[in-house]
Amino acid sequence: MGASELNAASAVTCGFLVLDKPAGLSSHSCVARVRRAYGLKRVGHGGTLDPAVTGVLPIALGPATRLLPYLNGDKRYRGVIQLGVSTDSDDLEGEILARRPVTPLNTTELEAALDRFRGTIQQRPPAVSAVHVNGQRAYKLARAGETVDLPARTISVHQLTLLNWKPVQGQLELEVACSAGTYIRSLARDLGELLGCGGSLASLRRTEALGFQLSQSVSLERLDQEPRPTLVDPLNALAHLPRHALCHEQLQGWRCGRTQVCDPSWVPDSPVVVLTPDGNLAGMARVQDIGALQPRLVLDAAG
């Protein structure tokens, strides 16, 4: 898409739609529904949800797809973990591998176990996941019968709150705020292993993702109604980042990709939203060095 098309598209078809994804549909299927509803080819989602998971699925339309890497990657979930059951996918959608009795636990003991998963930790993704292994998705290899041994990754669990504990059923309900790349299925599996009984994710709902809230979401059915849901302005989605407003004398240099002078207090390599003199989105930049701003995404490039 050329610069003139970017500007033309941005007026009506550049922004973010927050879907409340229902169970049973893939994230890809939701993108296809949005593409048909708005008559666009350029549509993408941020933060894949498994088919069984519901809740916040941010979808970018038009040039906003290029802004997805700049959004806040943190997410928040509410989910139920079933102790005593282990599966090949680490959720109850998978094949059951083992059933074991759940050791009697009170909330104090359960909180002590959960504390092992708070903060910055190492976590191994589920074998049935979208992680790439030698150029292929792990879930494809697992479903083909291959053994998938994924290495652990560093993730951050900012908040892990025990909402409810049903000792007779062996079920606990949690609220989790975490960094991008965190798998709640892995949390269920690892908690079960720590307790010696196994565990799987029973249900999950995402309530926040990429800075978007469940309160902003719309249903898939809403896409079939007129008028179509209003898109979230990209500037609102980028509100967590610092902004640099160009003056009229700087605008042409920006459009030609020239480095701009910026606030010397900004941290090198951090992203910055760049605005035109009239306050519209001009693009994205990164702090190249102290006081120097390097263009990375120019929406109205010259030439």
Q: What is the pLDDT of residues 229-256, one digit of tens each?
A: 999 999 999 999 999 999 999 999 999 9
Give Rg (Cα) of the chain: 22
Tell me the C-alpha to C-alpha distance, in Å, between residue 59 and each of 29, 116, 236.
12, 34, 14
CATH entry, 241-298, from 3.30.450.20, 3.40.47.10, 2.60.40.10, 2.30.130.10:
2.30.130.10
pLDDT score, position 135: 61
pLDDT score, position 145: 59
Residue predicted with more confidence, 146 or 261: 261
The model carries a pTM of: 0.88
Domain range annotation of the chain: 3-71+211-236, 75-209, 241-298
132 in Cβ contact with 181 (< 8 Å): no
Please state whether 138 falls in left (phi above 0), alpha (psi between -120 and 50) or beta: alpha
15 in Cβ contact with 231 (< 8 Å): yes
- pLDDT tens profile 176-233: 999 999 999 999 999 999 999 999 999 999 999 999 999 999 999 999 999 999 999 9
CATH topology agreement for domains 3-71+211-236 and 75-209: yes
Confidence label for 301 from pLDDT (cuts 50, 70 and 90): confident
Please state whether 185 falls in left (phi above 0), alpha (psi between -120 and 50) or beta: alpha
pLDDT score, position 1: 37
Nearest 5°: the CA angle 42, 44, 216 is 115
Output the average pLDDT for the chain. 91
CATH entry, 75-209, from 3.40.50.1000, 3.30.379.10, 3.40.50.300, 3.30.2350.10:
3.30.2350.10
Question: In this structure, what token pair is assigned to residue 137?
Answer: 């998705």
What are the DSSP calls for 13-52, one per residue? S-EEEEEEEPTT--HHHHHHHHHHHHT-S-EEESS---TT
Query: How far is 115 from 112, CA to CA, in rounded Å?
Result: 5
- pLDDT tens profile 25-82: 999 999 999 999 999 999 999 989 999 999 999 999 999 999 999 999 999 999 999 9
Q: Which residue has the tokens 């994205």?
A: 284
- pLDDT tens profile 96-129: 999 999 989 999 999 999 999 999 999 999 987 6
Query: How far is 222 from 13, CA to CA, in rounded Å?
Result: 17
- Residues annotated as part of the active site: 50
- pLDDT over threshold 70, residue 3: no
Look at the domain 3-71+211-236 and name its fold: Pseudouridine synthase (3.30.2350)
266 in Cβ contact with 219 (< 8 Å): no
* Identity of the amino acid at 284: M
Where is 237: in which H helix or E strand?
helix 234-237
Burial 272-289 (b: 16+ CB within 10 A, else e): bbbebeeeebbbbbbbbe
293 in Cβ contact with 272 (< 8 Å): yes
- pLDDT over threshold 90, residue 150: no
Q: Which residue has the tokens 């903060």?
A: 119
